[in-house]
Amino acid sequence: MSTTSVIRVVLIEDHTIVRQGVAALLSTAPDIEVVGEAADGRTGLEVVAATQPDVVVTDLALPGLGGLEVLKQLHERPAPPACLVLSMYHDGVWVQRAMDAGARGYVLKGAQIKDVIVAIRLVAAGGVYMSPGAARASESETLSPREREVLTLIAEGHTSKEIGGILDISPRTAEHHRARLMEKLQIHDVPGLTRYAIRMGLVDQNLK
């Protein structure tokens, strides 16, 4: 964080009306200044390099370079800014992947602007912020490494027998994992699991 009392923020959000709305609302906080904006990930990295903000507020669903990659690249910098995700995705997998990529906070887009301001202040001071909805999702929906493997293989079109052979487990155990995934994610068919896996970035987006 800078030595001044003002927290310098860069916003990365592809929807102009959302980005400008958040910027306008943040301007009401006397200790927060939006010093840069970007509509895509690659431009966002350039704006961050040019402005050296204290906090970066980014969406995950960005054109071109996605939000997770933006977080990773920022986290790898010698003096990284504190990163806060502002997203509509409440899925536990997204929350966990964002935090693993270097985010220090996760705010759902349904939150009030006062929550975003609190989150910015907290991560700028070295803390961690999690929207209540995101925290609950992280606890209830985060998949285990084995569940991720099974989900990926299901989405790639493998049968339970094939999954068993690949992972060296019985077909019955593979079926158990499939049933557990459906229960945990509340998705009750293979096409739904496939779409979820694509959205989570576990398989190629060209899969149907």
- For the chain, give every domain's residue range: 7-139, 143-199
Q: How far is CA 199 from CA 12, 169, 203, in A?
A: 20, 26, 9
For 106, list phi and psi in degrees, rounded to 5: -145, 115
On the 0-12 / 13-18 / 19+ scale of CB atoms within 10 A, 189 is exposed
> 208 pLDDT exceeds 50?
no
43's tokens: 């431009």
Average pLDDT over residues 130-134: 84
User: Among 39-43, 89-93, 128-132, 140-144, where is mean pLDDT lowest?
Assistant: 140-144
| Cβ–Cβ < 8 Å for 198, 190 | no
**pLDDT given for residue 137 in this prediction:** 65
Q: Which fold has domain 143-199?
A: Arc Repressor Mutant, subunit A (1.10.10)
- What proportion of the chain, given as a percentage, has pLDDT over 70? 90
Over its C-alpha atoms, the chain yields an Rg (Å, rounded) of: 19
Residue 206 belongs to what H/E stretch?
A: none
Q: Which residues pair with 7 in a beta bridge?
A: 32
User: Among 87-96, 110-119, 175-184, where is mean pLDDT lowest?
Assistant: 87-96
Q: Which fold has domain 7-139?
A: Rossmann fold (3.40.50)
**pLDDT given for residue 72 in this prediction:** 95
